[in-house]
Structure 1
Amino acid sequence: MATTRVLEPADLGEALAVLHRDPVANAFVAARVEAVGLDPWRLGGEMWGWYDADGVLDALCYAGANLVLVDAGPQAVAAFAERARRQGRRCSSIVGPAAATAAFWALLERSWGPAREVRAHQPLLATSSPSAEIAPDPLVRRVRRDEVETLMPACVAMFIEEVGVSPLAGDGGLLYQARVAELVAAGRSFARFGEDGQVVFKAEVGAVTAGACQIQGVWVAPEHRGQGLSETGMAAVLEAALREVAPVVSLYVNDFNLRARAAYRRVGFREVGAFMSVLF
């Protein structure tokens, strides 16, 4: 009989086996698990496991600030949705592979809805090669630790544009600033600064595993848009990420952001799947 349960540290090997089936799609969850294991306190949430009738761990659901399905087929989706319904909503978003996430949300919407926004199709893009068409911007570099305060306004502006709410709400932005500083300290925050010292372009390498990494937070200052800086900037970040971080670089983008999709295509990213996001 198929069952679900909260995974424990002893289940780490089995969980990683599931996560490594698709290093690109599962990069976000895999990065967290590889870094801290399955202890809920360190993980920042529970990891639910779905076991098939033979007792084999076959799907996962990370239930933290975000709820993320991993390799969940119809039976696992239904089981995770029932567990989520009983527990009640604790997350600020549901993110994951589009088909599974859509089925999951259809089962949960009555009890968890309404959502603030549903982004039903977000192309997942990836590449394992530097850009063949776009030359990297030589002015894009790693952000230094003493530049976090200069970087923060750009990060906040990007977050508001992308998510629709401010990351400074609630705790005054302490957690968000800590995450920005963490990425800078890890050498995974990149930017081009203008002559006035302000950020012109920025992006971060967020999730990192041995098999893949995921770029996030791509942003160009409004007064500099339309100049191709997102393309040359992304080419620079891509080159650095492939050289120093992981063999495959990915990102996902809203399907309605046609300008960004075209820019990523010119840089060399190709669609390898689709995500869906439900925002609360």
Structure 2
Amino acid sequence: MLTQTTSRVLEPSDLDAALAVLRREPVANAFVASRVQVAGLDPWRLGGEMWGWYEDGMLTSLCYAGANLVPICATPRAVRAFADRARRAGRRCSSIVGPAESTAQLWRLLEPHWGPAREVRSHQPLMITDRMPAGIAPDPGVRRVRKDEMETIMPACVAMFTEEVGVSPLSGDGGLLYQARVAELVGSGRSFARVDEQGRVVFKAEIGAATPQACQIQGVWVAPEYRGKGLAAPGMAAVLRYALADVAPLVSLYVNDFNTAARRTYRRVGFQEVGAFMSVLF
């Protein structure tokens, strides 16, 4: 038995203990929890390692180390242990993302070794709702993207990602991993769009992470020529209706603090700020 403070790479047999930690903060942990519930803790299926921090033999904190480095319910002592492990392993992730306080501490410890970052977004409000908005009717034109519409939705997904992150998702491996992720969301019925008469996507969003407790909307995008025409709020209401009816009783998202238009739209649809995330992009 582990009787002192220590960290180690978790194994498949640690699944129940890891899920117990993830359930402590179901909204903040929705992204990682959704992956763990599907893939378990096998690194090949999970797409990365799960590091655990133990105090007096109890698993108390986690850190997902894959394409993203994500501290989970991480205490200051756990963050120091995770930073030491990450520093020794070398940077393999494209971003660090998670609750603002623990992510900021993790970045302070790693920046001398991994810096400089391409961009640091230190305050990204985390917003939630559990009900449909009053006074905003869902856009009836927003619907699930069909499996045969990959060629229709992909240009909008690439445009959104490039605008949001600052680099194209088609770089590196030619976009194979990104296309697979989009196809996964389409195939699972968690990709939504409004398509105009010419077959162009004018609004889109996905439910990117889903657990029985909470889900997370991501990739919200309005075509530039349609911005300012009132599509965003009804579109979000439509996605929210699907999310609450079919996925989870609590719906979340996080947004850049400088995106005042998006934050205003989300508040109109009923989302309330309950915390903050932070992202470090490489």
TM-score (norm 1): 0.99
Q: Is the 8 A contact 1:12 1:37 kept in 2?
A: yes
Hey, what does 2:182 align to over in structure 1?
180
Hey, what does 1:157 align to over in structure 2?
159
- After superposition, where does 1:201-220 map in structure 2 within 5 Å? 201-220=203-222
The alignment status of 1:4 with 2:14, answered yes or no, reads no
Q: Which runs of 4+ in 1 moved over 2 A?
A: none
The alignment status of 1:40 with 2:39, answered yes or no, reads no
Q: 1:27 aligns with which of 25, 30, 33?
A: 30
Superposed CA RMSD: 0.6
Query: Structure 1 residue 171: deviation in Å?
Result: 1.3
Hey, what does 2:169 align to over in structure 1?
167
Q: Which runs of 5+ in 1 are unaligned?
A: none
Task: Tell me the distance in 2 between the aligned counterparts of 1:162 and 1:89.
Answer: 22
Task: Tell me the distance in 1 between the aligned counterparts of 2:11 and 2:37.
Answer: 14
Q: Is the 8 A contact 1:133 1:268 kept in 2?
A: no
Q: Which runs of 5+ in 2 are unaligned?
A: none
Hey, what does 2:18 align to over in structure 1?
15
C-alpha distance after superposition, 1:59-111 (max 9, x if no partner): 00000000100000110011100111111100000000000000110011000
Letter in 2 for 1:207: A
| 3-state secondary structure, aligned to 1:84 | helix
| 3-state secondary structure, aligned to 1:4 | strand
Identity of aligned residues (%): 75
Q: Is the 8 A contact 1:133 1:266 kept in 2?
A: no
Q: 2:195 aligns with which of 189, 193, 196?
A: 193
- After superposition, where does 1:59-138 map in structure 2 within 5 Å? 59-138=61-140
Task: Tell me the distance in 1 between the aligned counterparts of 2:58 and 2:13.
Answer: 15
Task: Tell me the distance in 2 between the aligned counterparts of 1:25 and 1:3.
Answer: 24
Hey, what does 2:252 align to over in structure 1?
250
Task: Tell me the distance in 2 between the aligned counterparts of 1:84 and 1:181.
Answer: 31
| 3-state secondary structure, aligned to 1:192 | strand
| 3-state secondary structure, aligned to 2:108 | helix
Task: Tell me the distance in 2 between the aligned counterparts of 1:210 and 1:164.
Answer: 32
| 3-state secondary structure, aligned to 1:5 | strand
